[in-house]
Structure 1
Amino acid sequence: MDFKYDVIVIGAGHAGNEAACAAANMGSKTLLITMDMNKIGQMSCNPAVGGIAKGQIVREIDALGGQMGIITDRSAIQFRMLNRSKGPAMWSPRSQSDRHQFIQHWISTITNIPNLYVWQDTVKELVIENGEVTGLISALGVHFRAKSVVLTAGTFLGGLMHFGKNQLVGGRISEPASFGITEQLKSIGFTTDRMKTGTPCRIDGRSIDFSKMSEQKGENDFHKFSFLEEAKRELKQESCWITNTNQTTHDELRKGLADSPLFNGQIQSIGPRYCPSIETKIVTFADKISHQLFLEPEGVDSQEYYLNGFSSSLPLRVQIDAIHTIQGLENAQLFRPGYAIEYDFFDPTQLKHTLETKRIKNLFFAGQVNGTTGYEEAGGQGLIAGINAHINCMGGKEFTLARNEAYIGVLIDDLVTKGVDEPYRMFTSRAEYRLILRQDDADVRLTGKGYEIGLATNNRFQQLNTKIEKQNILTEFIKNYSIKPAFINEFLASRNSSELKHGCKLSDLVLRPQLSIEDLSEAIPALKEKIEAIGSRKEEIVEATEVLLKYEGYIEREKLIADKLQRLEHINIRGRIDYNTIQSLSTEARQKLSKIDPETIGQASRIPGISPSDVNILLVLLGR
């Protein structure tokens, strides 16, 4: 018996959920296939969303019309804006989530979207005809037909977990692995390899002595992930707790290194350099006597705590003995140990910027199968894959984001242009235009694009227009309102800011680093009245206005640079040059250009090993 859909998404993790919701909300009849309907949106590792650069991605997902920001806000139990001591380009939202509430909100969202259906099963084989995917066959023997298929299998493809010398086949603890798809795709020419990641133990909160730790509270201001007014934080806010390893901890860990899968040759896969296991830390940083750890709550009604900074695949006894040397954890009881997991991934240079594979038409990859790590990176990819899977079914222009438009654009361009040699994680340093890719203006950058393709709702688009209108009114007022010295000098002196000798515009005072719009409103009744008139989103609009005023010159300069370099992105070269015949190119350039087959000169210029002279040669050839 055949079942027909427009789009089928394999895997209900963070990539799969965004892909399925996007395709369905845009009008495709969509099927989401998952091993377990009770674990849709499972937070496999830490119970948190966002962080440095990752928070910007979540805000972009929300701005386009995705779901992660809304669900994170509704399940949030602690919110913080990271990097406040730095400039606004670096500000990054992060939220602890109630793990169970996060899943329940995802289940509720997915099972209430028209056009979106769920099937609990595993996939053993894709159906590929004449170089095009046409469906799949499940483990239960059901043949599903589809116009597009999105693969978002996470760590489940060939998943193998390591607990010391003990190995268990699985994609996540207590969950089976998936076999068949990797082998099938490899047989038709896809390049695949193995990666490794890990997770820490989970600790019973009743056995923790929090009095020996430092408390880290959240923030209760207006910040959140979703730009929608109706999306709010609803749950009781919880604290995280900070403690540290010590020399005794490290000595206990070293006793187990001979049995560590990372050091005895048991694991050969590529692991994350930026988020190393605790055993890797004590070897790599052997001179360091302490490493900071964070105890993160899993939920408001749970005693489960996540020991952030202590990922490990050491034997259970070693983990327990080492944990018991840590201040506050002397009597800690474990719910489960930490472990490492190896899994299959595909070289992402085999993808287009739409995340459709170059080899098989209408087949898309998103998430950890592309060599990334992190819920946020997965969600961003899933959204783009779901949008383009729908477009491939219904027609329309492919949807991509450039590097100067979104962190999601940086992420995908890095993957398909450079590939990966370790699990890819987003950092602000990867974005050359981070001053124009701030978290506060993701809606201004992207909601219009989401609305044009039919993903962002009319309500969301109207809220954006209202925000821009009110922001413009406030900006014009500040730029045109005149201030006299006699009126403001006493206030300036109280703020350790130099007094005025002549009158000036209010905007000149906003530019001073010691002063904020909120500060000035205390001394200028007309400004305070203007702010109060904004209404419910006044804090958000005031902050966005201040950022634009204080950094206007820098932002405009970065936009000019981005626009200049963007010209190379419009020079299409795919299919126009046989690189192997161009002897003036370096051997490395010929090989890499032939393998990746870049869409544009801009993409070619970012391929590792392609020099400026190689780019000039391509430009000369195109000129001819």
Structure 2
Amino acid sequence: MPNLEESYDIVVVGAGHAGCEAALAAARLGLETIMFTVSVDSIALMPCNPNIGGSSKGHLVRELDALGGEMGKNIDKTFIQSKMLNESKGPAVHSLRAQADKQNYSREMRNTLENTDHLTIRQAEVSDIIVENGVLTGVKTFSGAVYHCKAAVLATGTYLKARCIYGDVSNATGPNGLQAANYLTESLKAHGIEMYRFKTGTPARVDKRSIDFSKMEEQFGDKKIVPFSFSTDPETIQKEQVSCWLTYTSEKTHEIIRANLDRSPLFSGAIEGTGPRYCPSIEDKVVKFPDKNRHQVFVEPEGLYTNEMYLGGMSSSLPEDVQHAMYRTVPGLEHVKIVRNAYAIEYDCINSRQLNATLEFKAISGLFSGGQFNGSSGYEEAAVQGFMAGVNASMKVLGRDSFVLDRSQAYIGVLIDDLVTKESHEPYRMMTSRAEYRLLLRQDNADLRLMGIGHEMGLVTDEQYEKLLKKEAAIDAEIKRLEATNIGASREVQDFLERNGSTILKTGTTLAELIRRPELNYVMLTELDPKRPELPTDVIEQVDINIKYDGYIRRQKQQVAQYKKLENKKLDANFDYSSVKSLRKEAAQKLDLYRPMSIGQASRISGVSPADISVLLVHLEQLRYQNRMEKDSIPDSEPEPERKTERLASSRETEEVTGKEVSDDCRI
């Protein structure tokens, strides 16, 4: 019998956080899109922690929202507690984090997907990719059905050949006991795609009724809730929130773990995959930090309509009996009842260095990849990659320019650049420390940085964009007013300054200069500024930050300008690095393997030194000079430019951008 055959513009494989964003982006751009999932009940599943955002991850969600993604809107509909982290520190590291009602989060996202035009959802397992002459032409399901397409996005998450493990128990299932995808890996390998084996884990879920909260510290949400999405009216989401709780492991907990390490699949060799460095299991913590006599445990609700509680900080793959004994040594959990055991999960993913910055495979035209399948960890990292892969797959089909964010534009740019240029043999996690220009890439200004791009692509509405333009104008006008508003050293002003622990004035100054003082801010100066206009909270926030950190912001913008110099020096995808004299063999091999898009990207590849970049710059300048001679019909007898000067200029240019010392003795 003939098998089913259908045709679509875009195929998305997987319906987790990456798959949802990829499918929505493609469909919203008008392309006929089909999204495959092993179970429609697992759409936007949160198999591990019941929250969205957190340090640096909140930045990703707000950037995604500014570009036209869905995650921020969805968590605004379904959160049960919201908190701005790191408020005692500078604005560069402020980051939103919200507890989600897990079932409601999945339900709302599914509702959005099912009511999006041009989007079809299909429950089926994709087992093969179909490639002809290096070009993807379709996918095939396990049932034999063929779906022809112009581009596809792989967003398989942790499902490929997934195996859930605790103690001696090993089940070939995906997260939460869902069906694994067992066939696609072999098809990918057959087409030359290099695979890794990674692992992650999750803690036990326990019954709320069996917890003694009196022995724990209650953790409240913010009184004034800040939404993730720039399109959400803050007044519409102010509501009563549920509490989370903090407790700690004890020495007894650690004794039980140490006594049973021989039964842990992490240490017995039963688990082959590499786990996330920054989200270790409790066994890992006890072994790696033997001097610590306790570790934090966050007890978090999984939703409003369930008694399941998540034990953040205590993921484990220890045997069932050890888990029961271990958890009951934690204050407040002495009589705890486990609903779901903790487990580790192994899964197949790719070596992400096989991807271009567009998240398209270098070797297979039309095949894109996003999410944990790319070797990253976290819902937020997955979502932004899925969005970028979906957008670029759509741009390819539509014949439009590809979409790449660089490291100076967004945390998304940092994340993807790290994935495609740096060697990593463990799940990648976004952190604020990875972003060189984090003072510019704050979560509060993501709309100002990126919404214009989202509007140009067609994923941000005219109404949203008009609102942004009005916000920008209001910020600029208020900053100019404050810079121009002088106040004298009157008794009223001096009294105000003394009351607020600020140095009194000797001469007059501007309101902007007072805002720049560490102990003062825009809101505090209200009584000295009677002609102040009524402004929205988000405008006030931008005015305050831009004035207070003006010097630092200008300095970082200068650094970005230097960075752009090398980033704008593009490299041909077919450039022959073996032809570059004096380029070290290791560097030539790495450059040939990664195929960087620019000199800037080349400079971030492990094994490529500043001296190698200097050699490349000189070689490119020589090529440019030769091409100019040929174009202008300059006689061959005309002497070349003085090479020593070129070498020194290239060295200085490299040093400016990389911040690394470059020797002039490059042996060109």
TM-score above 0.5, yes or no: yes
- The structural deviation recorded for 1:24 is 0.8
Corresponding residue number in structure 1 for 2:566: 568
Corresponding residue for residue 269 of structure 2 = 265
Which residue is 2:70 aligned to? 67
Provide, for residues 155-177 of structure 1, a one-character-per-residue CA deviation record: whole Å limited to 9, x for no partner: 00110111111100012121111
Q: Tell whether the 8 Å contact from 1:228 to 1:463 is kept in structure 2 after alignment.
A: no
**Alignment partner, residue 373 of structure 1:** 377
Conserved in 1, the CA contact under 8 Å of 2:225 and 2:238?
Answer: no
Name the SS for the 1:525 alignment partner: coil
1:328 aligned to 318, 332, 343, which one?
A: 332
Distance 2:64 2:137 in 1: 28
**Paired residue secondary structure (1:173):** helix
1:49-99, Cα deviation, whole Å (9 max, x unpaired): 111111101000000010011111111111111111211111111111111
Partner of 1:545: 543
How does 1:185-264 map onto structure 2 within 5 Å?
185-230=188-233, 232-233=236-237, 236-264=240-268
* 1:591 equivalent among 581, 589, 592: 589
**Correspondences of 1:70-219 after superposition (within 5 Å):** 70-219=73-222
CA contact (8 A) 1:222 1:540 kept: no
In the alignment, structure 1 residue 498 sits paired with structure 2 residue 496? no
Matched, 1:476 2:480: yes
C-alpha distance in 1 between matches for 2:213 and 2:143? 49
Deviations 1:196-246 (A, max 9, x none): 100000011111110110011010325221111447536641111000001
1:341 aligns with 2:345: yes
- The CA deviation at 1:38 is 2.2
**Matched letter for residue 407 of structure 1:** Y
Give the aligned length: 617
CA–CA separation in structure 1 for the residues paired with 2:105 and 2:239:
11
Q: Aligned residue for 1:416? A: 420
Deviates more, 1:402-411 or 1:283-292: 283-292
The answer as to 2:26 corresponding to 1:23 is: yes
Q: Deviations over 1:11-37 (max 9, x none)?
A: 110100011111111111111111222
**How far does residue 581 in structure 1 lie from its aligned partner after superposition?**
4.1
Residues 280-337 of structure 1, C-alpha deviations (whole Å, 9 max, x = no match): 1111111211111100111122211110000000001101101111110001011111
User: 1:436 aligns to what SS in structure 2?
Assistant: coil
Matched, 1:515 2:520: yes
Contact 1:75/1:233 (CA < 8 Å) preserved in 2? no
> Are residues 1:282 and 2:286 paired?
yes
d(CA) in 2 for partners of 1:576, 1:261: 45
SS at the partner of 1:509? helix
Q: What do residues 571-616 of structure 1 show as CA deviations (whole Å, max 9, x unaligned)?
A: 1223453223445222221221111111111111000111111001
Q: Displacement, 1:48?
A: 0.6
- Alignment partner for residue 529 of structure 2, among 524, 527, 534? 524
Q: 2:575, 2:528 → 1: CA distance?
A: 65
- Of residues 609-618 and 488-497 in structure 1, the stretch that sits farther from structure 2 once superposed is 488-497
Provide the TM-score with structure 2 as the length reference. Answer: 0.91
2:575 counterpart residue number: 577
Displacement, 1:182?
A: 1.3
Q: Which residue of 1 aligns with 2:602?
A: 604
TM-score computed with the length of structure 1 as normaliser:
0.97
1:255 shift after superposition: 2.4
Tell me which moved more, 481-490 or 343-352.
Answer: 481-490
Give the AA of the match of 2:520: L
Kept in 2, the 8 Å contact 1:196–1:340? The answer is: yes
Is residue 75–residue 235 contact of structure 1 (8 Å, CA) maintained in 2? no
User: Does the 8 Å CA contact 2:153/2:367 hold for their aligned counterparts?
Assistant: yes
Instruction: Report how far residue 438 of structure 1 moved.
Output: 0.5
Taking a change above 3 Å as real, the CA distance of residues 575 and 70 of structure 1, as seen in their structure-2 partners, is closer
Query: Hey, what's the Cα distance between the residues in 2 that align with 1:95 and 1:477?
Result: 36
One-letter amino acid of the structure 2 residue matched with residue 495 of structure 1: N
Write out aligned runs for 1:354-503 (5 A).
354-486=358-490, 487-503=492-508
CA contact (8 A) 1:76 1:233 kept: no
Q: CA deviation at 1:524?
A: 2.9
Within 2, Cα distance between the matches of 1:95 and 1:108?
A: 21
Identity of aligned pairs, percent? Answer: 45
Structure exhibiting the larger radius of gyration computed from Cα positions: 2
**Which residue does the alignment assign to 1:9?**
12
Secondary structure of 2:176's counterpart equals coil
Query: How many angstroms apart in 2 are the aligned matches of 1:112 and 1:163?
Result: 39
Deviation at 1:545, TM superposition (A): 1.0
1:457, distance to aligned residue in structure 2 (A): 1.4
Distance (Å, rounded) in 2 between the aligned partners of 1:199 and 1:153: 18
Aligned-residue offset at 1:391: 0.8
CA–CA distance in structure 1, aligned partners of residues 585 and 401 of structure 2: 35
Is 1:619 the equivalent of 2:617? yes
**Equivalent residues of 1:76, 1:234 under 8 A apart:** no
User: Quick check: 2:76–2:232 contact (8 Å CA) kept in 1?
Assistant: no
For residues 279 and 203 of structure 1, what CA distance do their matches in structure 2 show? 19
Q: Distance in 1 between matches of 2:424 and 2:368?
A: 18
Please, which runs of 5 or more residues in structure 2 have no aligned partner?
A: 623-668
Tell me the alpha carbon deviations over residues 350-406 of structure 1, each in whole angstroms, 9 at most, x when there is no partner. 101110101111000101111000001101101110101111111111101010000
Residue identity matched to 1:240: C
Do residues 40 (structure 1) and 43 (structure 2) align? yes
C-alpha separation between the residues in 2 aligned to 1:417 and 1:275? 23
Could you tell which deviates more after superposition, 434-443 or 75-84? 75-84
User: Which secondary structure does the structure 1 equivalent of 2:469 belong to?
Assistant: helix
Two-structure CA RMSD over aligned residues (Å): 1.3
Mean Cα displacement is larger for which, 367-376 or 486-495? 486-495
Distance 1:367 1:615, change over 3 A: same
- Cα distance in 2, alignment partners of residues 229 and 475 from structure 1: 25
Task: Give the Cα separation in 2 of the matches to 1:283 and 1:68.
Answer: 36
In 1, distance between residues paired with 2:312 and 2:237?
A: 23
Tell me the residue number matched to 2:647.
none
Residue identity opposite 1:169 in structure 2: A
CA deviation after TM superposition for structure 1 residue 521, in Å: 1.1
The one-letter amino acid of 1:517's match is Y
